[in-house]
Amino acid sequence: GQQVMQIPQYQHVQEGEDFTTYCNSSTTLSNIQWYKQRPGGHPVFLIQLVKSGEVKKQKRLTFQFGEAKKNSSLHITATQTTDVGTYFCAGYSGYSTLTFGKGTMLLVSP
Amino acid sequence: NAGVTQTPKFRVLKTGQSMTLLCAQDMNHEYMYWYRQDPGMGLRLIHYSVGEGTTAKGEVPDGYNVSRLKKQNFLLGLESAAPSQTSVYFCASSYLGLAGATGELFFGEGSRLTVL
């Protein structure tokens, strides 16, 4: 079945440093979604990418979808303590459900 | 805006007991899902439903049953709870997106279940 791998599992940065998490799928994806889960909270949708090579920005967050539609990345510029949480990617490849990666936990020290 | 509501939020069970988690959504979404989240394991799909009266197995369905008698409700049942079912359970719903793809998922706040 479809697998979505996400790296790193965990990253600890100093406030102001950049952060990137990567997502790789075993199959070509129709679209990919990104979610953020704050500690003790529930996952919240951030964005969806659909087109090959697509790049979207949300303030300090930049999302990319690979040309082959099998990988994606989330980059945060100049992290803040409010960025703390776990970031999940989730890919859709034509079945009825998304397949989630295991997430990258981000810790930001002031 | 209630969105997706899960009840109960916390529950402690003894091994062998049964219980039902209720998920209700007020967004008229067709799709509903039950996930479990364990440390280091991400979100694993238990069961899902693509419409009223339909259910399907996900990645980890054993030990769970579900029902979708009404479009707005999705119930997750544990017939005989086991310590391995200690987890945080999330319900989610979504609309049907472009070209049949799943739209964004709206999650409930979670239900923390402990089985002793």
Per DSSP, the residues of B76-92 read EEESS--GGG-EEEEEE
What does the DSSP assignment read for A11-71? EEEETT--EEEEEEESS--SEEEEEEE-TTS--EEEEEE-STT-EEEETTEEEEE-TTSSE
Q: Above 70 in pLDDT, residue B99?
A: no
- The structure tokens listed for A98 are 């998304």
Pairing of strands A104-109, A10-14: parallel
Inter-chain contacts counted by CB atoms under 8 A, chains A and B: 56
Which of A98, A99, A105 to mutate to test binding with chain B, by most B CBs within 10 Å of its CB? Answer: A98
Residue B59, SS3 per DSSP: coil
Tell me if residue B33 falls in helix, strand or coil: strand
Residues of chain B in contact with residue A94, where contact means CB-CB under 8 angstroms, are 100
Residue A2's pLDDT band, with cuts at 50, 70 and 90, is: confident
What CA–CA distance (Å, rounded) separates B82 from B69?
26
Nearest to A37 by CA among A29, A25, A45: A45
Average pLDDT over chain A, rounded to whole?
A: 95
A5 in reach of chain B (CB within 8 A): no
Mutant choice from A38, A42, A87 vs B, greatest count of B C-beta within 10 A? A42
Residue of B nearest to A94 (CA): B101
| CA distance to partner chain A, nearest, from residue B95 (Å) | 11
For residues B63, B114, B66, B21, the Cα torsion angle rounded to the nearest 10 degrees is 170
Cβ atoms of B35 and B103 closer than 8 Å: no
Is residue A100's pLDDT more than 60? Answer: yes
Q: What is the pLDDT of residues B14-60, one digit of tens each?
A: 999 999 999 999 999 999 999 999 988 899 999 999 899 999 999 99
Contact criterion met (CB below 8 Å) for B100 and A93:
no
Write down the pLDDT at residue B96: 75
Give the tens place of pLDDT for each residue, A13-33: 999 999 999 999 999 999 999
Complete edge-to-edge strand list for the sheet that includes strand A19-25: A4-7, A19-25, A71-76, A61-65, A55-58
C-alpha span between A13 and A59 (Å, rounded): 19
- Encode pLDDT of A67-92 as tens digits: 999 999 999 999 999 999 999 999 98
| Separation of alpha carbons A65 and A50, rounded Å | 8
Tokens of A51: 């087109």
| The pLDDT of residue B93 is above 70 | yes
- String of b and e for A53-68 (b: at least 16 CB within 10 Å)? ebebeeeebebbbbee
* Token pair listed for B47: 């069961």
Note whether A3 and A99 are within 8 A (CB).
yes
